[in-house]
Structure 1
Amino acid sequence: MERLLAPTDRLLAERYPGDDGSRQPVHTVYVPGDRYTPALPDEWGAAALAAVSAQGGMPAVVRLLGAPDDLVADVAARAEAKLRAEPIEDLRLDFEDGYGDRGDVTEDADVRRSAEHILAAVERGSAPAHIGIRFKSLEVPTRGRGIRSLDLFLATLLEGGELPPGLRLTLPKVTTAGQVEAMARLCERFEQHYGLPEGRLRFEVQVETPQLVLGPDGTSPLPAAIHAGRGRVSGLHYGTYDYSASLGIAAAYQSMEHPAADHAKSVMQVAAAQTGVRVSDGSTNLLPVGDAEAVRASWRQSARLTRRSLERGFYQGWDLHPAQLVPRFVANILFYREGFVPAATRLRDDAEGAGGVVLDEPATVRALAAFVVRAAACGAVSADEVTDAAGADLATLMARAHPRLATDEETP
């Protein structure tokens, strides 16, 4: 029996290792690569707070976005603290659609300058926890330019000694598993060329073409694409507008909640399940600009879409404007504050064998523990609150959320 199942055991261990337990950012902010400076996160936080002030202050905004009266003060305080302390969790310097084609001389200079700014931000402690580049795709017209920008970006960063620990690379407009395999080989070549440890370079795949969701043989290439990356694929990011446009959906109806979007994201979710690859929702292009009512309408929509994503298991999305940080953080904090006490109570009941009104399966207990860990990571609850309510500290809950990791650590 052991010999018969050995291939299955290897498959599950190698291709479905589960989540690594590291913090997943609640968002990725995209800015044109030439606009980044080390001061940008603080500038975005200040702009978001100014937008809040113009709307009557954070409590008024939190109430506008649907918080019940008993949570308004708490959510407002946490959201404001978040905007002051960590306005951007993950930042992508865009040299693709948000940058365009400006010629090799200009792009070379902008890529190098952006990497130098990252080094300066890391040195002064102002870099976001995760930061990186979206270079041009591996499609024929942009392939050479994309690889050139990535190479120059890495070379410039390495002039500072080593790569930032939170480095992120984003591969856009992927159409086939072959492009993912090619990107994995490219990362391997870069590692060899620059003397980097094997596996140091990983990348996100943007799901924004129909060919990657459904291939010519009638099956989805997404699972094959993940495994073609040989462990280097770190995330699948949904591209709302490229994907919608490629299906011929009219511009007025292109949305994160269109049925076509939900289908693509469901395929992403199933393909990535248990592989350790994170999934991210896309963006809304209704920006919070204009008069006061236009800003409020944008915030209400953003908060609603963020909550919708969270309820569907997409814990990350894209932000494109400083004021979009407001509904992003408010919606996340409110989501976790509302669910924290019930989740913590169920975890305590399960650990104590007390039995409650819900009989939870082990898989659900893992999900409950992961929920509480995410709540703490985004600032919705404190470590002390977790211990008091769940009867266990965050380290214990992390082990319950990811028991395989705990087992691996104990294995000599």
Structure 2
Amino acid sequence: MAAETTLGEDDLVRADDGLRATDALLRDSYPGDDGTRQPVHTVYVPADRFDPGMPARWGAEAAEAVAVAGGTARLAETVGLGELAEELSPLVDAKLAAEPIEDLRLDFEDGYGARGDEQEDADAVRAADRVLAALSEGVAPPFVGIRFKCFEAPTRRRGIRTLDLFVTRLAQGGGLPDGLVLTLPKVTTVDQVDAMVVLVERLEERLGLAPGRLRFEVQMETPQLVVAADGTVPVARLLHRSPGRVSALHYGTYDYSASLQIAAAHQSMEHPAADFAKQVMQVAVAETGVRLSDGSTNVIPVGDPAHVRDAWRLHARLVRRSLERGYYQGWDLAATQLPTRFLATYAFYREGFRSAARRLDNYLHGSDATIMDEPATARALARFVVRGLECGAVTEAEVRDAAAATPSELVALAHPKLATSEKEHS
């Protein structure tokens, strides 16, 4: 006997019709993470100081600073990671040798300044040529791009021209790097993001690029993005002006703090005002696929040995703090910050790896009846392990052994919307 229902097909159709706009919103504006790699940091250097050998020089400088301090294991002890020192040391040493910079931004904004149009024109073209050279030599970081001047009236045209020169030269000189990143700084209104969308659309059309090829980051450096004059939250609105265009939100520690009149001595990534802004950003990007990055500390480990130790401890602690709060990326301003970036990052993933892998093994294969994780928890566990694998904190062999799963299986678990989409298109 068939089960009886009260609602009919017309009721179901009415529900579908009433929720069609919601379905479209969730599909287009909340697609989830796309499963691609997110770098653990972004390194900023003045645009004219970059050449293909720069990443390797930074790695060598970082390694030399560690050697002077007694080696990587000793530095791990210095920053409070002594229990993991023997595990971390070979991994961090290998990282500094092979991939010391994951994401590099050639800076035409605060790190470059105003040098006149003729000089900046030449440097924009030269920067593109050097990126192309680094790509051809196989020494470019996985992610690389520029930060141009902001869209406020005094610098708008200069910023747009630099963007144009750089992208045009790349396109005409051999093609855009897969990991190209463009950074729009000091955004104060959604209109500035709309203007950027129009500009990259024009560049795509006129350079013969695929629609959507040029994505960009938004630097969150002004309080006007948190609360606008009309009481709205622009940082949430701007993500949805052109779905897929904004790739990340980056918190700007010092510009944002200064705009709130926080005294210079107290401007920090861990100030309550910073935490509030980043929490708003975090909620805004949830399930949109837009990545989130914390800012930087300007306390650089150079000079007096006691200052170097204190600066390393501070940096390692701040990196760990960001990771614990779900900010998986941050800024580094000097080569000597690289050792503690990777030590703190690798420690974070290695400390949680065994437990996460065991729970994933149980979720996938039923190996432990004492643990019953929900699907959402399993996704979080898989994302954690995949992030650790991508940055080099854990190895593929460790993942296969501890979780009894391949990296591709974990990526599919971590990003089910991506896996479903791939199946639909296969």
Shorter chain as denominator, the TM-score bin is over 0.9
- 1:77 aligns with 90
Shift of 1:5: 1.3
Matched, 1:272 2:285: yes
Asked if residue 381 in structure 1 is aligned to residue 394 in structure 2, the reply is yes
In structure 1, C-alpha distance between the alignment counterparts of 2:371 and 2:187, rounded to whole Å: 43
Aligned equivalents of 1:386 and 1:356: distance in 2? Answer: 21
Counterpart residue type for residue 236 of structure 1: L
Displacement after TM superposition at 1:230 (Å): 3.2
- Aligned pair count reads 411
Percentage of pairs with the same residue = 61
Are 1:15 and 2:29 counterparts? yes
Distance in 1 of aligned mates of 2:317 and 2:374: 30
Please report how far the alpha carbon of residue 68 of structure 1 lies from its aligned counterpart in structure 2 after TM superposition.
3.8
Letter in 1 for 2:28: E
Give the aligned partner of residue 180 of structure 1: 193
Q: What residue number does 2:80 align with? A: 66
Asked if structure 2 preserves the Cα contact closer than 8 Å seen for 1:346 and 1:356, the reply is no
Measured in 1, the distance between the counterparts of 2:244 and 2:422 equals 20
Paired with 1:355 and 1:50, the residues of 2 have a C-alpha distance of 46
Tell me the residue number matched to 2:297: 284
Q: Distance in 1 between matches of 2:25 and 2:164?
A: 33
Unpaired stretches in structure 2, ≥5 consecutive residues: 1-14
The one of 330, 342, 349 equivalent to 2:362 is 349
Give the alignment partner of residue 266 of structure 2, picking from 253, 260, 281: 253
1:128 maps to which residue? 141
CA distance in 2 between partners of 1:343 and 1:185 (Å):
43
**What is the distance in 2 between the residues matched to 1:358 and 1:227?**
39
Whether the 8 Å CA contact 2:28–2:243 is kept in 1: the answer is no
Matches within 5 A, 1:37-48: 37-48=51-62
- Give the deviation of 1:67 after TM superposition: 1.6
In structure 2, what is the Cα distance between the partners aligned to 1:30 and 1:19? 25
CA distance in 1, matches of 2:242, 2:292: 15
Counterpart-to-counterpart distance in 2, 1:110 and 1:168: 18
Contact 2:253 2:267 in 1 (8 A): yes
**Unmatched runs of 5 consecutive residues or more in structure 1:** none
Equivalents in 1 of 2:132, 2:300: separation in Å? 30
**2:318 corresponds to:** 305
Give the equivalent residue in structure 1 for 2:47: 33
Distance across 2 between alignment mates of 1:371 and 1:315: 10
Match of residue 293 from structure 1: 306
Give SS of 1:159's match: helix
- Looking at structure 2, the residues matched to 14 and 230 of structure 1 have their Cα atoms a distance apart, in angstroms, of 7
Deviations 1:161-200 (A, max 9, x none): 2111110000000001111111011100111111111000
Q: Which residue of structure 2 aligns with residue 148 of structure 1?
A: 161
TM-score normalised by structure 1 residue count? 0.98
Q: Aligned to 1:78, what secondary structure does the other structure show? A: helix
Aligned to 2:8: none
Equivalent residue, structure 1, for 2:180? 167
The structure that has the greater radius of gyration is: 2
Instruction: Judge conservation of contact 1:184–1:230 (CA < 8 Å) in 2.
Output: no
Q: What is the distance in 2 between the residues matched to 1:361 and 1:205?
A: 34
- CA separation in 1, counterparts of 2:82 and 2:208? 54
Q: Name the CA distance, whole Å, in 2 between partners of 1:356 and 1:225.
A: 45
Q: Which moved more, 1:354-363 or 1:116-125?
A: 354-363
* Contact kept? 1:183, 1:229, Cα under 8 Å: no
Deviates more, 1:233-242 or 1:161-170: 161-170
Q: Which residue of 2 aligns with 1:226?
A: 239
2:269 maps to 1:263: no
| Amino acid of the structure 2 residue aligned with 1:67 | L
Q: Secondary structure at the match of 1:169?
A: strand
Partner of 1:157: 170
Cα distance, 1:354 vs structure 2: 4.4
How big is each residue's C-alpha offset from its partner over 1:90-123, in whole Å with a ceiling of 9 and x where there is no partner? 0000000000001000111111111111011000
Residues in 1 aligned to 2:20 and 2:259: alpha-carbon distance in whole angstroms: 43
SS of 2:173 mapped into structure 1? coil
Residue 37 of structure 1 and its aligned partner are, at CA, apart by 0.6
SS at match of 2:250: strand
- Counterpart secondary structure, 2:60: helix
Report the Cα distance in structure 1 between the residues aligned to 2:316 and 2:139, rounded to whole angstroms: 27
> Which of the numbers 19, 31, 40 marks the counterpart of 1:5?
19
Return the letter of the residue paired with 1:334.
A
- 1:330 and 2:343 are equivalent in the alignment: yes
Once residues 193 and 65 of structure 2 are traced to their aligned partners in structure 1, the CA distance between those partners, rounded to angstroms, is 40
Do the aligned residues in 2 keep the contact of 1:344 with 1:389 (CA within 8 Å)?
yes
Q: Which residue of 2 aligns with 1:410?
A: 423
Q: Deviations over 1:241-270 (max 9, x none)?
A: 000000000000000000000000000000
In the TM superposition, what is the alpha-carbon distance from 1:359 to its structure 2 partner?
3.5
| Number of the residue aligned with 1:366 | 379
| Counterpart code for 2:103 | D
1:372 positional shift: 0.4
Shift of 1:290: 1.1
> Could you tell me how far 1:395 is from its partner in structure 2?
0.4
Q: Give the aligned residue type for 1:17.
A: P
Alpha-carbon RMSD: 1.0
Q: Does 1:99 find its partner at 2:134?
A: no
* TM-score normalised by length of structure 2: 0.95
In structure 2, what is the Cα distance between the partners aligned to 1:356 and 1:163? 50
Amino acid across the alignment from 2:99: E
